[in-house]
Structure 1
Amino acid sequence: MIRKTLVSLGLAAGVAGGVLATAGSASAASFVPGGVYPSVQACSDAGNAGFPRGRWVGFYCQSLGYGQYELWVQPTY
């Protein structure tokens, strides 16, 4: 009984340690989702609108299919 409990606790600690070890921290190179748009032009316009405001330093638009595009931005940290 005690052995099973210790094995379970060890396994849980190992999983938790593995999650912490592989969790990356946010960096300036990370892109985050910024919205979904009905066309590549609308996505690009939204991406370009963030530059003068200093909201991000880079962006790209990813096709989601069915004419929708997701804006991914590289925020300033």
Structure 2
Amino acid sequence: MKEETKKEEKKKVDVEIIKDYMSTWETAIFFKMEHLKKLIRDKDWDTASYVASSITRDLSKLRALELILPPEEE
């Protein structure tokens, strides 16, 4: 019984850590997108391409983290 409680507590902590990590990625993606807008306005296509692929990788990581999370209970 006590071991189940410990596992549940650890799971809650893990979920909070993942959500915090996801929030960090979301913030990074936001700033990269703002930078990408500036690069497109300045017609710096090489750097814009690099930043866009970086955003794509970050979005993939974010999606992977979403899949790790257990479904939310209503």
Question: Per the shorter chain, which TM-score range?
Answer: 0.3 to 0.5
* TM-score, normalised by the number of residues in structure 1: 0.33
Larger-Rg structure: 1
Larger fraction in helix: 2
